[in-house]
Chain A
């Protein structure tokens, strides 16, 4: 018996049960419905539509994520992300010679199922776009606690072009409670690729679902991020961009910096000048980007963490309410929850002081360092687990690879052919 799931967006005739929808979608990518170039052009059209705010497209989409999404969907950006990983992108369209006797062809894996984190729904739009560009069919399960960000996009995409219509027809959007085990299992069993976004509990639950033996798992799980800044080379505009990286998703994204290591010592001119700019930017950007309403436990936690910072010997810079907090700490305090615009600043004099504080679940390290320091630090920090070293302002820009995972190779089948006649 098929689990009861009411789709938010379905290409299959209304009334078809969930299992039937999954089966119908799974059969789609076995035929080449549209080529990579046409698909990239259709997604580019969606980017244009986002910029122009056509129709009701902006409804239901977080304003601060629109710019990210629009930039991400641009044709040149998607091509660049693909070519970073695939040396012969032409193989997405036809067999391409990759050596004297071998040709390569990349084909979609099939049905890609996305489980979306509750906090940053746009991240799933990113993985959906890459997957759709590569020709896969997609099922997107939104959290029952979040709004439907996908249907407006798919409606606009379908209206853009015939290929846009094809892509939207290859996408099913559903929302059901995480405890709806029948629906979870049906979706998991249908998947050729499972993409799980979210915290530890969420990704563990998805990984524990039954699946096909050859299903590929892409887990964008719980991570923490940081920044390393040399005040001697950072410009005021970059300070604002750094603060935007911290503020924009209320630090609920894995790529949001939680600790900022700043070269110097408090009381020193360079350090203090940076902190002045940083504090000003925090006040400004916190006002510019609306924060989600904190529940009682989150609100209590801010008060508690400010208290912890002070009682642990730190200095707290903050607003008069609960909007933002900068705690200057001698060393990172792990017990302090760096969420909801609460960041720790830790002074350092040598890069060697930072390495012991890079956790095993590190993801992004926003950097603004002189070239030699950047080379030294990125090599050392990468060995300790950091996956990305973006500039200030790029901390939350979804890119490929992400979490150290090359997405294109996970979402395609690599087919090789020996050339005849030799």
Chain B
């Protein structure tokens, strides 16, 4: 079982200033809700002023927010957000000079998000992902099977959503094994690469990762291969959209069975994690009870349709993602087009305290209604 709850983390080395966000000795999900509220209010206020001073566009948005109010709820529920699409259309950044840009997958939108990341944010993201994933799958480093092409993490492609997701697990890897190759219709399983990887890994536990649809396709192909049983502590992680799988009538139980089957693993060793390119460093894996949890340096709000007021526990809403990580751009609080539901304010059967939530997919597009039109020129 991974470390979480009250178990203290190992004492960390002296922090650089940008990593002082993380409280030494406090596990990601262990901070009591009342303490977390105070912690977040303080950090988010600092972050708001930090970005206001550095990003004129964000300052304009804050002026509007302060004039008309952030609606109802507690401090975090009233905290301003930027709709994710704005990062596709406007150059929102809080640092000058040469910084990296991460772009969202071009397959999910016609225009990619451009998220700026400086060195300090990258360190925070890396530490954040490390702490979260360690809590779920343990700190032990293992061989890493990547169900993707090697060039996805090379050069500029490393700053794609896929590249960033692969590299988010790098700290858990002793070695990388890329097992897809470019095929006629896109990436496909490379059986030779897979066998080479398995020969090297032997009976050791491994981690594996792939974008959800790519992982599914590869495992469909693997069903006909004679594979050795994997070590039972191995874990297969995936993230990304379910749209293509929904079209194939593949739900999560079927997916987990298809992916765990060739390895002889239990279906719960297949872990879906939710994340957004606008919030790199914030993976939200499923816990053993099937829910997602929020570390103390982040929060998740769901907002109602029609009003954008905070949704109640159990009610579906648009997901607002908040984290204290981003310093290069004001993407620390974003309103997504994803739907989710807070399942419990506290008391998840997995033992992690605080809020637990479900990701429910992309909000459906509006039905085109009526005879009104946009201007045609």
> Which residues does A use to contact B, with CB under 8 Å?
117-120, 123, 145, 197-202, 220-224, 249, 251-254, 256, 258, 293-301, 303-304, 306-308, 310-311, 316, 318-322, 332, 334-335, 337, 339, 357, 359-362
Contact = CB atoms under 8 A, between A and B. Distances in A.
Given A297-B365, A311-B60, A360-B377, A197 B371 contact: yes
A120 B337 contact: no
A202 B369 CA distance: 9
Nearest to B63: A310
B364 interface: yes
Contact of A297 (B57, B366, B373): B366
A117 B335 contact: no
7 contacts: A224-B374, A254-B371, A256-B372, A296-B339, A308-B86, A321-B307, A361-B375
Given A311-B86, A320-B69, A303 B335 contact: yes
B372 A251 contact: yes
B69 to A, nearest CB: 5
Among B89, B308, B373, the most chain A Cβ lie within 10 Å of the Cβ of B373
A407 to B, nearest CB: 15
B96 interface: no
A337 B374 contact: yes
A334 B68 contact: no
Nearest to A309: B64
A117 B373 CA distance: 13
Nearest to A332: B375
A120 B370 CA distance: 7
B371 A198 contact: yes
Interface in B72-91: 81-83, 85-86, 89-90
Contacts of B371: 117, 119-120, 123, 197-199, 220-223, 252-254
B373 A306 contact: no
A334 B307 contact: no
B308 A297 contact: no
Contacts of B370: 117-120, 198-199, 249, 252-254
Given A311-B57, A320-B68, A322-B308, A199 B86 contact: no
B369 A118 contact: yes
B61 interface: yes
Given A293-B306, A307-B86, A321-B307, A334 B377 contact: yes
B83 A307 contact: yes
A120 to B, nearest CB: 6
Contacts of B86: 304, 307-308, 311
Contact of B318 (A296, A319, A320): A296
B71 interface: yes
B367 interface: yes
Nearest to B364: A297
Contact of A322 (B64, B306, B372): B306
Given A222-B373, A224-B373, A296 B363 contact: yes
A370 B166 CA distance: 65
B202 interface: no
A170 B265 CA distance: 68
B308 A299 contact: yes
A219 to B, nearest CB: 10
Given A252-B369, A320-B71, A294 B85 contact: no
B90 A311 contact: yes
Given A199-B370, A299-B304, A307-B82, 19 more contacts: A117-B369, A120-B370, A200-B373, A222-B373, A224-B374, A224-B376, A252-B369, A254-B370, A254-B372, A293-B306, A300-B335, A303-B83, A311-B86, A319-B68, A320-B69, A321-B307, A321-B308, A332-B375, A337-B374
Contact of A295 (B57, B89, B364, B374): B364
Given A119-B370, A300-B83, A294 B90 contact: no
Interface string B264-295: 00000000000000000000000000000000
A304 B83 contact: yes
A119 B372 CA distance: 9
